[in-house]
Amino acid sequence: MMEDVPTDASSAHAACAAFPYPPYATQTTSTTMGRAEQVPTTPGSSRPARTTRTAGTAARYDCDVLIVGGGIVGLSTAYAITRAAPGTRVLVLEKEDGPARHQTGRNSGVIHSGIYYRPGSLKARFAVQGAAEMVKFCAEHGIAHDVTGKLIVATEREELPRLHALIQRGRQHGIPVRELGPAQIAEREPHVRGLAAIHVGTTGVCDFGAVTRQLAQLAQDGGAVVRYGAQVTAVDRRPGMGVAVRVSGTAQPGTARTAPATGPADSADSANPADPANSTPPVGTSVVRARAMVNCAGLHCDRVAQLTGDAPPARIVPFRGEYFELAREREQLVRGLVYPVPDPAFPFLGVHLTRGVEGGVHVGPNAVPALALEGYDWRTVRPRELASVLAHPGTWRVARRHWRYGAGELHRSLSKRAFTKAVRRLLPEITESDLIPSPAGVRAQAVLHDGTLIDDFLITEGQHAVHVLNAPSPAATASLPIGREVAARALDALGATVR
């Protein structure tokens, strides 16, 4: 949580003022980060290591690139930097005690095909490319996955034009799409009702928690340091020099701590790649000095951007996605993945049915306002975070514009009977007793001041900083190409600092 974190640049500067920033202190953050002269090569590559700093620069900075956030995008970025520029000192700070604790580890685990997204958008390009790369990555590293394909089902006549539009969009993206009638739907999903459907062949499922842990291991193998239990509380940026970041947490700088995996996308038998021997007792506050910073803070990304002194064009409004799972004796009702036809006015895909890699069937999510950035249930209320969200003019404009849709989502959140009724549109045999509550997720949805829900990935740049300001679904699917994109921008930012 970031309840006590200053949210403006002047407060952040004051918070760092007690620490030696100019000139940079000569100590390094850790022995690992101090190996500045040892330049590794990329595993499997004959490309020579790229030198990005002098010995004097290494003494002034604790790292070259500081990444805030240990979800799948942050760790993919770290991995991409170690491959693109071997020898670049990368430090990842994650406030939780392990990776993938929020959006990455609390979702349906679906590898999205990219069929929904507007041609030319980052979502379309990165999802189509990322889906193929994610399947390959999982296969190479022995991570549970399955390319099942999925059905997008129209249950009402007014949905048919939108279904046909998706067919055309899929063909534009080069995605294998097949049109199905009621009889063909029944062949694939005997218990699903629909007037028409399309089968999307490249959709699948995987364990994104395990993917994230593997990315952390690969980044560490490439020389990066991943530090868990490390929360950024202030940022002081100096033009031409870089950033100094105040960190509070429970891990010594440069260490990786272990923690049990949690969340529906985490595999119970997947070990955290960090060495348990690196676990450390609680420590106080430290300062990390970097030539460039990458903000992959997810639900907190707009606040981290503000700490840096940049004015984000949008603010994060948290939407909780609530899930159920089918009772074990009813799991045979769903063979694979079944989605409704989405409403193009919203970036949400609607309540869908997902058979995961472990065999269980998830039902959901809906989309309701969360009362805290990490508000995974109605009982979690954080007044300061809620006040910040409500102070954003875009929040009220979204509410006024889409109040009818929002009222329906709230009703389905508060009434299991209403939620079940919505599921019955696709799966008529379902009953309330078939649905068992499952852990919820929270979507970090960027909203412009005019109330527009941003429906594409949003990556911005400031001096010595790159900010990932909107990366909800399908960011996990697209994480490998997103990581390369952010890494390229971060490496460009290194050229703006004094060598």
Q: Is the pLDDT of residue 370 over 50?
A: yes
Q: Can you give the length of the chain in residues?
A: 499
At 285 the pLDDT is 87
How buried is 181 (Cβ within 10 angstroms: 0-12 exposed, 13-18 middle, 19+ buried)? exposed
Q: Running DSSP on this structure, what letter comes out for residue 454?
A: -
- Tell me the whole-structure pTM to 2 decimals: 0.84
**How far, in Å, are 75, 228, 266, 406 from residue 100 at the CA level?**
10, 11, 8, 28
User: Over the stretch 98-116, which tens digit does the pLDDT of each residue have?
Assistant: 999 999 989 889 999 999 9
User: Over the stretch 230-253, which tens digit does the pLDDT of each residue have?
Assistant: 999 999 999 999 999 999 975 544
CATH numbers and ranges of domains, the chain: 9-103+208-313+456-494 (3.50.50.60)
How buried is 170 (Cβ within 10 angstroms: 0-12 exposed, 13-18 middle, 19+ buried)? buried
- In angstroms, rounded to a whole number, what is the distance separating the alpha carbons of residues 47 and 44? 9
Mean pLDDT of the chain: 84
3-state percent helix, strand, coil for the chain, nearest multiple of 5: 30, 25, 45
Q: Please check whether residue 144 is in contact with residue 267, taking contact to mean a CB–CB distance below 8 angstroms.
A: yes
Q: Is the pLDDT of residue 265 over 70?
A: no
Q: Please check whether residue 334 is in contact with residue 191, taking contact to mean a CB–CB distance below 8 angstroms.
A: yes
User: Over the stretch 349-361, which tens digit does the pLDDT of each residue have?
Assistant: 788 999 999 999 9
Q: Is the pLDDT of residue 74 over 70?
A: yes
User: Over the stretch 14-50, which tens digit does the pLDDT of each residue have?
Assistant: 444 444 443 333 333 333 333 323 323 333 333 333 4
At residue 495 the predicted structure's pLDDT band, cuts being 50, 70 and 90, is confident
Provide the sign of the torsion angle of the four alpha carbons 300, 302, 303, 304, taken in this order. positive
At 344 the pLDDT is 77
How buried is 206 (Cβ within 10 angstroms: 0-12 exposed, 13-18 middle, 19+ buried)? buried
At 37 the pLDDT is 30
